[in-house]
Amino acid sequence: MSAAARASPEVGGDHALLLDAVREAGALAMSYFGRDFESWEKSPGHPVCDADLAVNDLLERALRVPRPAHGWLSEESDDDPSRLDAERVWIIDPIDGTRAFLAGRPEFTVCAALAVAGAPAAAAVFNPATGELFDALAGGGARLNGRRIQASGARTLAGARLLVGSTEMHRAGWPAELAEANVTAISSMAYKLALVAAGRFDAAVTLWPKSEWDVVAGDLLVREAGGRLTDAAGRGLEYNLARPRFGSVVAAASRLHPCLIERLSPLIGRSANLGQT
């Protein structure tokens, strides 16, 4: 489905609903940030906390109740297979970057998107600790706090500003494979993608598996800002899959993207057995 087809009046209404919900969710997240609350591991290396669940509940009320026909896919909800039959699906990560959130670092986001027929149509990535609200509408551009943003014009890896995950950088040996780039490690995949869309960094890469909710909102931001996002083999991503998981993600300025794919595609799978960010 084309961007023009996805940017219908109905999707515009969903986009407005999404922005209101994410703003409210960000305020709730900040009511927990820097305070004492319960946290635990839902699986080894994957922390979750009271704030994740509270924000998830808020978003579910704000988005599912007024749009009962839309499917729902969230990191903090049990998967409902009925979403696979829905044309429109909310895809949610209540707090992306929970490790940073728990450590009191302002590198986490509330991120949410609407996928229509498997493609992102509306998206919001909100870092409430910094006050940065990134949003995009298919065919309508990408914005930061209401102002249009654009990916950088970087063309080569030499001196490129590259974002990676903190754990992946240490375990998988970054930046050895991209020695000519300037590599920075931060949390939240969605925030990394938003910063690429805004042109503050030239690319963000991971060769570790990521879930749809980590990527979908940032995917639309990057593409509406003139960048490209694929897996490390150069393939575009589809959403609302039965197994909502990708093996790798490469987002970059449009002219830099082919250089990264050429460098990274031979490495696919090499670092996947080292863990996840």
| DSSP for residue 56 | H
For residue 136, is pLDDT > 70? yes
Quickly state the pLDDT bin for 49 (edges 50, 70, 90).
Answer: confident
Beta carbons of 125 and 93 less than 8 angstroms apart: no
Mean pLDDT of the chain: 91
For 140-188, give the secondary structure using H, E and C. Answer: CCEEECCEECCCCCCCCCCCCEEEECHHHHHHHCCCHHHCCCEEEECCC
Between these two residues, 166 and 71, which has the higher pLDDT value? 71
* Cross-strand pairs, 90: 72, 114
Note the pLDDT of residue 192.
98
Beta carbons of 203 and 250 less than 8 angstroms apart: yes
Q: What is the pLDDT of residues 207-259, one digit of tens each?
A: 999 999 999 999 999 999 999 999 999 999 999 999 999 999 999 999 999 99
Q: In the chain, what percentage of residues exceed pLDDT 70?
A: 93
Q: What is the pLDDT of residues 105-120, one digit of tens each?
A: 999 999 999 999 999 9
CA distance 195 to 96: 14
Which domains, and CATH codes, for the chain?
3-148 (3.30.540.10), 161-274 (3.40.190.80)
